Every structure is written in C-alpha cells, then in structure tokens.
Amino acid sequence: MADRKWIVVTDTAGPIGFCLSIISNTTLLFLIFSRSSPIKGPYKKMLIVLCIFTVFYSFVEIMLQPLIHLYDDTLFLIQRKRFDLSKTITRPQYVGYFGGCYFYYWLALILSLATSWGLTAAFMFPQTNRTTESFLYVIETSYDLDPYWADYVAYKYFDTDENHVRHINILSFFGVLQHGLVISLSFGTLFYCGVQTYVNIKKHTGMSEKTRSLQLQLFRALVAQTCLPMFMMYIPIGFMFSCPYFDLQLGAVTNYQTVMAQLYPGIDPFVVLYLIDAYRRIILNSICPRFLYKKILRKTVSQPDVSMFSVSVKPSISSNGLTSTSRMS
C-alpha cells in the first residue's frame, strides 16, 4: 500500500473511533448512573474516570491527526496541525509567573505519568538538523504534505560520527527506557489488580450466588479490559519502539498503531456493556425487545411447572390416631 494511502486510513479511523468512543462511553455512563446499575463503590468511580479519560483521549487523537513513520533508524511521530498557531509568546506580561517560586509550583503540577511521558518526548528526543532533513524528506515524498502544517518528535536511536560509525544515542536510550517503565507500570497495575480480584473471589466462598455472579462478571470485564489494550496498545507499541534497534525499516506501515490508538477508546467500553448482564439486557431490550422477550419465554417454557405435580394432603381419623392420605393431582 502506498504511503499516502495511510493518510486516508488514519483520517477515516479517527472519526470512526471518536464516534464509537462518544456512543459507547455515554451509554456506559448512563447505565452506571441509573438506579438499576449493579455496580457500586470504588469500581463504579473507576469506570466513571475511565469513561471521561477515554473520551478526552479520543478527542486529542482526532485533533492531533497523528502519523507514525520509521525512516533512517528514526521513529517519527508526526502531528498535523489543524490551526495556524505561532510558537512565539503571545502574552509576555505573564512570563513572570513561570519564574521564581512559581517555577516550583508548575513543577509540582506536572508530576504525573502522562506529563512525564510528554516531557520525555520533548526534551530527550530533540529536533536536530539530521532529523529535520529526514522529516522533510518523509513528509514530502511519502505523504505529500506541507511541512508548515506538520510537526514531529524524532525517536533517533543511533548517531553516526565522521567515520560513519554508529553509536547509541544515550539520551534517546533513556527516553525510551522511561516510556517502557510507564507502560510496564500501567500494565503491571492492571495485571496485579486482576490477580488480586480473582484471589479474593476464591476466598469469599460464603457470599450469595447473586453477589458471586456479579463479582465474576466484573472480574471477566477486568480481564477483557486488560487483554484488549495488551493486543491493541502495549504489544504493538513495544514492537514499534524496538524496530529501530533491529534495523526494521517498516516505513508508513507503522501507522497501524495510529489506527489502533484511534479505535481503542471506542471499543473498550463495549467490553463492560457486553459482559455485565444487567447492562447487556437493558441494551438488548432497547434495541430489540422482541428478542429478549422470546429468550425469556423459551427459558420459562423449558422449566417444568411445579404446580402440575402438587400433592394435596387430606387428614383422616383411623384407629391408630390421626393419619393423612395424600393424592397426586
């Protein structure tokens, strides 16, 4: 497939993923806040935060219009600008708020994993003359885009000296290591919580059947929400970052991760909507009430009617005292 066609693919996957994200997350939030929702407590709060974050994430994806390209031992993350924003300071009177003691306030504000990822990409993968030349070549020959309306972050793993000998770029190496730690921490947290949930369900054998059923549904949803990003995000991203180390020149094919990142926020909530019985029944009843009615009717007919085999007890007096005679009706 020609490199330019990846622009059409990503521009199509972006709106589809955004629409799916709005529909699925809005539906899940509506069911979570409904009175009939079986999910309570901390898990409810976690799902609410997850829905809000995934909508924001999909909004950022569609606004950035990202492209990914692997060229000359460098992984380019390309962002296509929607608006002409100048890089100069527009309100210099506020520069003072970024110096002195205010500087430490801003440092405290940005101490989070997401921000650390962005800071690493900004300062540990700087733009150089070599990366700018490669970027201009890629953006013009592969995608036929105006460089003015695009920007990039270059994950350049190797530097070449005057003797044409390659050396590992130490700054980029530690930057990729930081990205790997963030990914490992995120996935490790999901895996640990999943294992602990399963262990606790096994320990509490005295809970009611209804409670156990709900706990198992939540556990299955947690497992599915762990496996889905593993195959759509973690493994593809890990493979993508390892390609330059092994000289795998995939070119525009690495945009497969752009498509996965655009579709993932819209697909993820459907896992909870499908695996939680109460939510699934509400959706099926709204979409196709006849289907749900026939399913319940078949289940009722398949069960034997206990009233057909009732036993009537009739007291009688005998010489031995009070006895009873039974009659099958």
Question: Is 79's pLDDT higher than 60?
Answer: yes
Would 74 be classed as within a structural domain? yes
For every residue of the chain, which 3-state class applies, written as one string? CCCCHHHHHHHHHHHHHHHHHHHHHHHHHHHHHCCCCCCCHHHHHHHHHHHHHHHHHHHHHHHHCEEEEEECCEEEEEEECCCCCCCCCCCHHHHHHHCCHHHHHHHHHCCCHHHHHHHHHHHCCCCCHHHHHHHHHHHHHCCCCCHHHEEEEEEECEEECCCCCEEECHHHHHHHHHHHHHHHHHHHHHHHHHHHHHHHHHHCCCCCHHHHHHHHHHHHHHHHHHHHHHHHHHHHHHHHHHHHHHCCCCEHHHHHHHHHHHHHHHHHHHHHHHHCHHHHHHHHHHHCHHHHHHHHHHHHHHCCCHHHHCEEEEEEEECCEEEEEEEEC
Q: What is the pTM of this model?
A: 0.63
Would 139 be classed as within a structural domain? yes
Would 43 be classed as within a structural domain? yes
Residue 25 and residue 133: Cα distance in Å, rounded?
42
Residue 84 and residue 52: Cα distance in Å, rounded?
28
Find the distance separating the first CA and the last CA of the chain, reported in whole Å: 75
* Amino acid letter, residue 77: L
CATH number at residue 218: 1.20.1070
- Point out the least confidently predicted range of 69-78, 98-107, 296-305, 319-328: 319-328
Would 299 be classed as within a structural domain? no
- Point out the least confidently predicted range of 141-145, 187-191, 252-256: 187-191
- Over residues 125-177, the pLDDT tens digits come to 888 888 888 899 988 888 888 888 888 888 888 887 777 788 888 888 888 88
Would 328 be classed as within a structural domain? no
pLDDT (0 to 100) of residue 140:
87
Tokens of 132: 């700018």
Would 319 be classed as within a structural domain? no
For residue 178, what are the β-bridge partners? none
Q: What is the mean pLDDT of the chain?
A: 76
Would 40 be classed as within a structural domain? yes
Match 């000289």 to its residue by tokens: 247
- The whole domain housing 48 covers 5-290
Would 34 be classed as within a structural domain? yes
Q: What's the number of domains the chain is made of? A: 1
Highest mean pLDDT among 3-12, 14-23, 55-64, 164-173: 14-23
- Over residues 112-126, the pLDDT tens digits come to 767 777 778 878 888
